[in-house]
Structures are given as structure tokens and as C-alpha cells.
Amino acid sequence: MRSQTRWMSLVSACGAVLLLGGATSAPAQDTHVGTLTGHAAAGKPLYTRYCAGCHGDDGDAQGENAQWIDPKPRDFTMGTFKCRSTPSGSLPTDEDLYNSVGRGFVTTNMPPWIALTPQNRVDLVAYVKTFSPRWRTAKPATPITIPREPAPTIQSILNGRELFRRMECWKCHGPAGHGDGPSAPELTDNKDNPIRPYDFHSGSRFMCGTSNQDLYRIFMTGLDGSPMPSFADQLQPTEAWDLVHFLRTLQPVKTPEATIWRAWFATHGSELKPIGP
């Protein structure tokens, strides 16, 4: 009888351990990107080595370099992220964070961490997810749907230009997309730090990618934590593609949209009404 009681106690204890083990072996912070699984424990030393200098040991953006950096490093304790495939207000997916680490952020001090292996990056993402309680209470929403892109035409570019005016993108990004709109000097992020709107003439990379799909995603999801809002409730997919096609004409790179635009502008430019107040 006594041995039976001990045996049952042992089974109970094992059950408890298994339950606890189950809870800790797959915590909410584990990341899954493709076939890779990232673990926070493996990410911690990498974070200390490569990230804490700016983002701080506690992920609160108080690293020793932070005071010299503009824009300020992301505060991971807030659980708010700019580059997401998910709607405004949602956490990003693991893949969103993984891509951010590998891509870096143009116009900021965050470099592309391509020197780190894919496994390093998923481990890092897992550790970054330990800093905010949001990861334990919420899940990323379903990523937005991006329908197939129609071919750019002069009409889609002109429609996009009209949307740029009507959605008042120019108030921050400027009438010609130089990031010099009337609201630009006073923009602040969610921690009241000054922040500049994107200058489309500054290069080929956007904050969250380089492709037309990336551009579509940026203004449809918004860059949470920054002044850039989501336009998902305001633009139909065809309108969103029109806006993408117009924005591409502002960049100092040779794009199909810019080629169409320049050919049209050479003969019709004088017909355009200026954008602005």
C-alpha cells in the first residue's frame, strides 16, 4: 500500500513536471520562421553582444549609445513595432521581426544584421519578445492581404498622385515627397521624440523594404509608434496600388513607373495642378 502511494506520488510529480516542462519548452516567446525555431535563451547572449548597446539590457531603449542616436532605438518593452504585415494595433509576426533584423532600417542607425546566421536571428527575435508582456497576452493578427499588382500605367500614376493629394500625404511628406510638408517640423513619435517623415528622394529603400509590395504594406498597416498612420480603412486595393505607382515616380532610381511618368510629364507636365495648400 505504502509503495503504491509512493508510486502514485511519483506519477503525479512527473505529471506536474511534464506540464511545467510543456509550458516552458514552448513559451510564447519562441519564434517560428519557415523551418527555423528560435529560443530566447539562445538569443540572450547574442542580444547582449549586438543589440544591448542601443536597445538596452532591459530592452527599454536605454543602451549606452541611445543618447547619441536619432531616431531613438526601439523600446521593446512597449511591444509596438513599425514594420509589420499585420494591421495597426497588432503585434508583428515572427517573420516581420526576423525580416527587420536582417534588413535594418534605412535612415536610422539600425544596420542590416546579415552577418548573423538565420538561426541567430530567430533566436534574437525570441529574446526580443521577452521584454513586453504583450507577447504573453496577445497574438499577432492575421497579416493583411496584398492582391496581385496591376501593371503601372499613366492613369494609375495620376490616380495615385490625386490620392497623395486627397489623403493629404503631402502634409508630412511634402508636395514633392521631400519629407518637408507643413507638419514635418513638429512630428513626434509615441515617446514624444522628434521624428522626420520619409524623403522619397533619399534613395531606393523604404523603412520596411524595397519592393512595391513592401510599399503597399507600409501605408496600409501604418508604422505603429510613429506618426505614419494606417490607410487600410481608407483605400481600396486598386487605389493602394495606384498610390504605390505614384510614389515610385518620386524616387531617384529608374523604375517602370518613373519611365512612364517622365515620358508623360515631358508633354503634359504643364497640365498638372500643383499639390499643396
Partner 1 sequence: MIARLTPLIALVALEASVAASPRTPPAGTISGKVTYTGTLPRVRPIDMSKEPNCVTQHATPVTTQDAVTGPGNSVRYVVVYISAGDQGAPPATDTVRYDQKGCLYIPHVATMQVHQPLAIFNNDPHSHNIHPLARINAEWNKSQPKGAPPIRTSWDQPEFIAVKCNVHPWMHGYFAVLATPHYAVTDSSGAFSLTGLAPGTYTVTAWHERFGSQSQEVAIGGSETKTANFVLTARPY
Task: Note whether 86 binds partner 1 by CB under 8 A.
Answer: no
Q: Dig out the grid coordinates for 250 from the structure.
A: 518620386
Task: Note whether 153 binds partner 1 by CB under 8 A.
Answer: no
Task: Note whether 132 binds partner 1 by CB under 8 A.
Answer: no
- Least spacing, CB of residue 271 vs partner 1, in Å: 25
Task: Note whether 193 binds partner 1 by CB under 8 A.
Answer: no
CA–CA separation, 277 vs 275, rounded Å?
7
Among 59, 114, 122, which residue's Cα sits nearest to residue 96? 122
CA–CA separation, 260 vs 151, rounded Å?
11
Among 118, 119, 100, 117, which residue's Cα sits nearest to residue 55? 100
**Given candidates 229, 237, 255, 265, which one binds partner 1 under the rule CB under 8 A?**
229
- In terms of CB distance, is 224 or 257 closer to partner 1? 224
Q: Dig out the grid coordinates for 228 from the structure.
A: 505614419
Task: Note whether 89 binds partner 1 by CB under 8 A.
Answer: yes
> Element (H or E) spanning 48, and its range?
helix 40-50
Tell me which stretch binds partner 1 (CB under 8 A): 28-36, 110-118, 147-155, 163-171.
163-171
Task: Note whether 236 binds partner 1 by CB under 8 A.
Answer: no
**Given candidates 172, 207, 244, 260, which one binds partner 1 under the rule CB under 8 A?**
172
- Least spacing, CB of residue 190 vs partner 1, in Å: 5
- In terms of CB distance, is 186 or 271 closer to partner 1? 186
Task: Note whether 106 binds partner 1 by CB under 8 A.
Answer: no
Q: 21 Cβ partners below 8 Å, 6+ apart?
A: none
- Least spacing, CB of residue 122 vs partner 1, in Å: 24
Q: Dig out the grid coordinates for 33 from the structure.
A: 520562421
Question: What is the number of other CB atoms lying within 10 angstroms of the CB of residue 206?
Answer: 22
Torsion of CA 203, 100, 50, 117, to 10 degrees: -110
**Given candidates 107, 108, 183, 202, which one binds partner 1 under the rule CB under 8 A?**
183
- Least spacing, CB of residue 172 vs partner 1, in Å: 7
Q: Dig out the grid coordinates for 242 from the structure.
A: 495606384
- In terms of CB distance, is 58 or 168 closer to partner 1? 168
With the C-alpha atoms ordered 181, 183, 189, 192, is the resulting torsion angle positive or negative? Answer: positive
* Residue numbers at the binding site for partner 1 (CB under 8 A): 78, 80, 88-90, 134, 138, 166-168, 171-172, 182-183, 186-188, 190, 222-234, 277
